[in-house]
Amino acid sequence: EKGEYRHFMQKEIHEQVRSLTDTLAGRVDFDEGRIHLDTLNLTAEKARKIEKIIVTACGTAAHAGMVGKVLIERIAKIPVEVDIASEFRYRDPLVNPNTVVLAISQSGETADTLAAMEEARKKGAMLWSIVNAIGSQAMRLADGCISMQVGPEIGVASTKAFTAPLVDLYMLAVLLGDLRGELSATERKRLVADLSLIPDLAGKCLDREEEVKKVAYALKDTHNALYLGRGINMPIAYEGALKLKEISYIHAEAYPAGEMKHGPIALVDKNMPVIAITPRDPWYDKMISQVEQVKARGGIVVVVATDGDEKARELADYVLWIPETPWLLSPVITVIPLQILAYHIATLRGLDVDQPRNLAKSVTVE
Ligand code: F6R
**pLDDT score of 334 more than 90:** yes
CA 104 to centroid of ligand 1, rounded, Å: 9
Residues involved in catalysis: 361
* Mean pLDDT across 249-262: 96
CB atoms within 10 A of CB 129: 28
Ligand 1 neighbourhood includes 75 CB (under 6 angstroms): no
- What whole-number distance in Å separates Cα of residue 246 and Cα of residue 239? 11
Report the pLDDT value the prediction gives residue 219, as an integer from 0 to 100: 97
Exposure of 329 in the CB half-sphere (CA atoms within 13 A): 25
pLDDT exceeding 90 applies to what percent of the chain? Answer: 92
Q: Is the CB of 323 under 6 A from ligand 1?
A: no
Strands 99-105 and 80-84: unpaired
Of the listed ranges 57-61, 237-241, 311-315, 355-359, the least confidently predicted one is 355-359
Cβ contacts of 329 within 8 Å, gap of 6 or more: 166, 167, 170, 194, 195, 197, 198
| Span 263-270, average pLDDT | 90
Candidate of 359, 363, 365 to mutate for ligand 1, largest count of ligand atoms within 8 Å of Cβ: 363
Residue pair 119/89 in contact by the 8 Å Cβ criterion = yes
Res. 356 pLDDT band, cuts 50 70 90? confident
More confident residue, 126 or 3: 126
- Mean confidence (pLDDT) of the chain: 96
pLDDT per residue as tens digits for the range 143-200: 999 999 999 999 999 999 999 999 999 999 999 999 999 999 999 999 999 999 999 9
133 CA closest ligand 1 atom index: 15
Give, rounded to a whole angstrom, the gap between the first and last alpha carbons of the chain. Answer: 31
User: In angstroms, rounded to a whole number, what is the distance separating the alpha carbons of residues 279 and 2?
Assistant: 32
Distance 99 CA to ligand 1 centre (A): 24
- Per-residue pLDDT for 366 more than 90? no
Is the CB of 157 within 6 Å of ligand 1? yes
State whether residue 149 is helix, strand or coil: coil
Residues 135/8, Cβ–Cβ less than 8 Å: no
Q: What's the 268 CA to ligand 1 centre distance in angstroms? A: 30
C-alpha of residue 59 to centroid of ligand 1, in Å: 5
At 322 the pLDDT is 98
pLDDT greater than 90 at residue 363: no
Residue with CA nearest ligand 1 atom 11: 59
Q: How far is CA 294 from CA 110, 139, 311, in A?
A: 38, 44, 15
Is the model's pLDDT at 140 over the cut of 90? yes
**Is the per-residue pLDDT at 1 higher than 90?**
no
CA distance 130 to 33: 22
Whether 257 lines ligand 1, by a CB cut-off of 6 Å, is: no
**Number of CB atoms found within 10 A of residue 123's CB:** 15
pLDDT of residue 364 exceeding 90: no
Q: Whose Cα sits closest to atom 3 in ligand 1?
A: 59
| Residue 362, pLDDT above cutoff 90 | no
